[in-house]
Amino acid sequence: MTDLELTLANRKVLYAYLVNYSTEELNTIPPGQSNNLIWNIGHTIVIQQLLVYQLSGNKLLIPAEMVGLYNRGTIPTGTTSEAEIEMIKSLVCNTIEQTSADLAAGKFSNYTTYQTLLGIPLEKVEDAIKFNNFHEALHLAFCLKIKKGLR
């Protein structure tokens, strides 16, 4: 299994939340939590785009306003609309499929070295993809914890 296949497998789990939970459930912040399912899913999309596309000097595959809503340091700002949830549904797997095609096409040859908050240096896009899997696994764990608070 390649790193991007692992990312896509994780994204399919996140997609299941989008189709199996109501808008209200996706937006609910359970007691003791600081965010909700939809924020965690949107956050994984944004961070992957920043780590892989932005640091490679490529145009993001997502609307710019998503970065402001789901970037590191943000919190849910209210109720995410059904239209925005539909947009996130369309991006959650498609962005990874496009990343795979773009990687095969050599679009990430110009990567800007970046040190994560954990002190992990990302020196090439392959490092970013691997680190992103670690990051997304953390947010899947948060989703699992939030899920317990919903049902």
The full set of domains in the chain, from first to last, is 3-150 (1.20.120.450)
What is the token pair recorded at 17? 């939340």
**pLDDT tier, 16 (very low <50, low <70, confident <90, very high otherwise):** very high
- Mean pLDDT for the stretch of residues 112-140: 98
Using one digit for the tens of pLDDT, what is the confidence trace for 19-78? 999 999 999 999 999 999 999 999 999 999 999 999 999 999 999 999 999 999 999 988
The pLDDT of residue 75 is 95
| Cβ contact 121:127 at 8 Å | yes
Using one digit for the tens of pLDDT, what is the confidence trace for 73-119? 999 988 999 999 999 999 999 999 999 999 999 999 999 999 999 99
The tokens 């994560």 sit on which residue?
Answer: 116
| Cβ contact 128:55 at 8 Å | yes
pTM of the model: 0.97
| Cβ contact 23:77 at 8 Å | no
108-116, Cβ contacts within 8 angstroms, sequence gap of 24 or more? 108/52, 108/56, 108/58, 109/56, 110/56, 110/57, 111/55, 111/56, 112/55, 112/56, 112/57, 114/51, 114/55
Residue 150 has pLDDT above 90, yes or no: no
Q: What is the Cα–Cα distance from 117 to 34, expressed in whole angstroms?
A: 20
